[in-house]
A = this chain, B = another copy of it.
């Protein structure tokens, strides 16, 4: 299943991190924006072309050392259909470069509607006698608030297309506890959700002990990471909140098993805007992103140790 491919990429690169591609126009170096606006005007298309150009530079600089990218759908949707095209082209470019693509859409609905989202992001859609892949993610983040009716439509499509999902469990934001930390029969909501992931995951077993149903668990809650790693032994974690949101390598250590597997840590702004933090020439934005990705990898690997595929 899908996370086997992700795990193999992580082992090859010895790097359990993912670069978030959340391109606000403000993050894009001026020379790229200017070039796009000269060609397409100050239009949604112009903005979308600038995002795509920026992303391609990042992907080129990262693809041999970082196993995966995580484009955040919101930042593309914000530029309308043209923005969604930039998402699609970004995904295609990352795939060409061998990267695993996690589409961060937090999609959720039920029945045939959830099937439509699954088709959009992980499957193939029929048009007359033809078939198309609308958006080519390898995995999609989803929200499980609606229960099994919202998740089961994804599982068949994942199985058929070798894809996976990450379900929100304990998110990285300060107010995540308003619902997620409340307890149901002495079990916090995030664990109730996590246990459902373990259940759904049984339909998508993987070679390395982790199913194709992962969970989003925030780096900003280290105790919950340790607790959930124990409680959810077959659930792979997508871990946001490193860097810009304040968490460090030590906070994340609990996510990994004795083989150094079990999670992938995201950084978006930290990598994308490294050139602003370094205050280097904006033409060097991609090299700065690579330097930050290497620093982050080394930081995380200092707590993970060697990553092995022993079963």
Contact = CB atoms under 8 A, between A and B. Distances in A.
A145 B145 contact: yes
Q: How large is the interface on A (under 10, 10 to 19, 20 to 34, 35 or more residues)?
A: 35 or more
A199 to B, nearest CB: 10
A179 B157 CA distance: 24
A179 B183 CA distance: 11
Interface stretch (A71-79, A255-263, A274-282): A71-79
Contact of A79 (B43, B110, B113, B125): B125
- Report the copy number of this chain in the oligomer: 2
Interface of A: 22, 24-25, 33, 37, 42-44, 46-47, 72, 74-75, 77-85, 88, 106-114, 116-117, 119-121, 125-130, 132, 134-135, 143-150, 168, 171-180, 182-185, 189, 192-193, 196
Given A74-B114, A74-B120, A148-B175, 10 more contacts: A33-B128, A43-B130, A77-B135, A78-B119, A81-B85, A83-B134, A145-B168, A145-B180, A147-B175, A149-B175
30 contacts: A25-B126, A25-B127, A42-B128, A46-B127, A46-B128, A47-B127, A72-B109, A72-B113, A72-B116, A74-B109, A77-B135, A79-B125, A79-B127, A80-B120, A81-B81, A81-B82, A106-B109, A145-B171, A145-B179, A146-B173, A147-B176, A147-B178, A148-B175, A149-B173, A149-B175, A150-B175, A179-B196, A182-B192, A184-B189, A189-B189
